[in-house]
Amino acid sequence: MSQPHDAVVIVVCRAPERGRVKTRLAKDIGEERAYHVYSIMMATLFANLSRGSGYEVCACVDGNITLVQAGTVGPIKQHGASLGERIINAMKDCSSYPVQIVIGSDTPNITAQIVQQAITGLDTADVVIGPAHDGGYYLIGMKQLHEGLFEGISWSTEHVLEQTLERATSAGLSVVHLPVLRDIDTVDDLTAVMPELLSQ
């Protein structure tokens, strides 16, 4: 990829397809409403990111890539067996950018200011990470790909952040922490972050 900026924000996301998104949430509110919630979450996230400057935004999509028309470059397709492999491959696909920030689509309240904090944090640290309320993380960034941070992780558990930080410490990497944010995976999460969607 050629680019006017040094940094890229890679949004690891699923294509908005009914029955394939927010499946935990769908158990409580139904597939149609879960699809609606996810679509608004995605639109909110990309709108927030578009308010920043000095970085590109690239959607890295699981599913029908043509359904995601967002970001300033891309989109690109996810590939890899585990989430860790998909993140590694996404960063390799965007390796022409000196600074790579990876975020998920479950945290629509990520702002351009938080992204800028992450980019600035990498001026002095090897890794920047945004802890999530549930024990995972909503953002990870670095200037050099450290694949060991994504290997052997118990993905989708409350141990993700802890295990990632342990690997960073073992590798002698310095880490900057961002504010804790809450992912939206359950009705309780939705109530806490975007309660207005429960009445739509």
Residue 110 resides in a domain: yes
Residue 152 lies inside a defined structural domain of this protein: yes
CATH code at 27? 3.90.550.10
CB count within 10 Å of CB 171 equals 12
Indicate whether 200 belongs to any domain. no
- Residues across the chain: 200
Q: What residues make up the domain containing 24? A: 7-194
Q: How far apart are CA 159 and CA 135, in angstroms?
A: 6
Average pLDDT over residues 51-57: 95
Q: Is the pTM of this model over 0.85?
A: yes
Asked whether residue 56 is domain-assigned, the answer is: yes
Question: What's the rounded Cα separation, in Å, for the pair 72 and 59?
Answer: 9
Q: How far is CA 188 from CA 25, 127, 137, 184, 197, in A?
A: 10, 30, 18, 8, 12
104 lies in some domain: yes
AA letter at 167: R
pLDDT tens-place string over residues 186-195: 999 999 998 8
Domain count across the chain:
1
Residues 132-175 have pLDDT tens digits of 999 999 999 999 999 999 999 999 999 999 999 999 999 999 99
pLDDT band at residue 1 under the 50/70/90 scheme: very low
**Position 2 in a domain:** no
The mean pLDDT of 7-31, rounded to a whole number, is: 94
Q: What is the pLDDT of residue 200?
A: 63
Q: What are φ and ψ of residue 155, in 5° steps?
A: -60, 150
Q: Residue 1: inside a domain, yes or no? A: no
What's the average model confidence in pLDDT over 16-45? Answer: 94
Whether residue 2 is predicted with pLDDT greater than 50 in this model: the reply is: no
At 90, list the tokens. 């996404």
